[in-house]
Structure 1
């Protein structure tokens, strides 16, 4: 499975060989890598180089290094959680500008809304309406329930992603929904008028999804993200 590592970039070559074995299925989730001594011989590398490569693979989420008598390096496999985790860190610590985040979300959430309109079943729409009713309850209680209202709005966005049945959209929206709250808390005015505007957008969006009007759903979602992103950008001006 493995060959002697290229001496010009030893540890990186070890990383790439193990990555390839995992991605192509030669190594499957739950498999244990050969013992350290065996790997050193196969790659013809030092113990330090091998451990550096294994640390990189662990940081990438591809393996888990276990200690103890039954320890070793166990394959975790490739999943969308790696993408989600990296995106989440960028958003949580505000390493992405509001403008960059808006550009990303406008296209993403527009596509998600369009796919949700095509694929949602009647019971899916019923679930969205329940969330919409919950948001309306928080809206009626006023701005002091802003946080609960926004959290419900985030759940609606995530539910739309789930309706696409596409694990990539779901993973990315999970990361957005979990971490974007920090932007809202910092830059979105906690005003009842904006809460009402947000709620009305969701009412129209869910109506378009129920009607299976994918292009109208796309338009509403894109305009919603564009408009609320502009409100946040004004707070930084």
Structure 2
């Protein structure tokens, strides 16, 4: 027989989700690390002290520390002189995580192309506004290396990606630079498509870089943004033409 319906006016409660104790410990320590209450490089208390301080089981404490280690917020070393040391995530760590996410998720080439179209014109604008003389020197040096590698296509493509990463660095927006670096290898693989960089395209790219760099050096943000937009749109069009021309598998 089915259960009788609840009487009129009787409260009906949904299932209450209780956070795991290891998650609560990880959350508390994470907030203290990110907020600066626990300094970068500081040692966390030993496991036995954390057990005593929190009243949690040793297993919950260990799992909480594993969560923070997986996030790159601590490094744990076992042994007599071991322990957990606070280490704030670096740009390189974040870049690696985004790159890994894109690979695991199988982010399609079209999404990478769209990301470049959305991102790089803004980076060119910011670079025009925020660059230093050192940034310009770095971009010019990479431009010279690109020209020198004109007939060495793999090296040419490698240097081309470095140029775009250097442009992102010249924007002096750390978050956008980190994201650009994180997808740089994906961009490199995209530019490695067969017939992606024939002679005439390589010449056009070198000319486009020079024009963008001229606008950046002149601190002409509007022109830098417009020229970069044309540049990445041409790149996107080329990628789409080549990928759409590939025969479909049956």
TM over 0.5: yes
1:188–1:232 CA contact under 8 A, matched in 2? no
Higher RCO, 1 vs 2 (CA within 8 Å, ≥6 residues apart) = 1
Which stretch of the first structure deviates more once superposed, 56-65 or 45-54? Answer: 45-54
C-alpha distance in 2, partners of 1:130/1:14?
A: 49
- Relative to 1, partners in 2 of residues 1:24 and 1:124: Cα closer, same or farther, differing over 3 Å? closer
Structure 2 CA distance for aligned equivalents of residues 93 and 146 of structure 1: 28
Q: Distance in 2 between matches of 1:190 and 1:94?
A: 27
Of structures 1 and 2, the larger Rg is shown by: 2
TM-superposed CA distance for 1:69, in Å, is 1.4
Partner residue of 1:125 out of 122, 136, 143:
136
Q: Deviations over 1:118-147 (max 9, x none)?
A: 2234454344223222212222x3xxx111
Query: Aligned to 1:195, which of 191, 202, 213?
Result: 202
For structure 1, the residue ranges without an aligned partner over 5 or more in a row are 1-5
The question of 1:156 aligning with 2:163 is answered yes
Which residue of the partner structure matches residue 192 of structure 2?
Answer: 185
Q: Does 1:234 align with 2:241?
A: yes
Aligned residue number for residue 87 of structure 1 = 98
Q: CA deviation at 1:166?
A: 2.6
Q: Secondary structure of 1:232's partner? A: helix
Cα distance in 2 between the residues matched to 1:133 and 1:65: 44
Q: Tell me the SS of whatever aligns to 1:180.
A: helix
- The reply to whether residue 27 of structure 1 matches residue 38 of structure 2 is yes
**Which residue number corresponds to residue 14 of structure 2?**
none
Structure with greater proportional helix content: 1
Please give the secondary structure, in 2, of the residue aligned with 1:74. Answer: strand
Counterpart pick for 1:217 among 200, 206, 224: 224
The alignment yields a C-alpha RMSD, in angstroms, of: 2.3
Distance (Å, rounded) in 2 between the aligned partners of 1:23 and 1:189: 43
Residue of structure 2 aligned with 1:99, choices 70, 92, 110: 110
1:60 corresponds, among 55, 71, 74, to 71
Does 1:18 find its partner at 2:29? yes
Please say if residues 112 and 186 of structure 2, whose CA atoms lie closer than 8 Å, have aligned partners that are also in contact.
no
* Alpha-carbon spacing, 1:191–1:56, altered in 2? closer, same or farther (3 Å): same
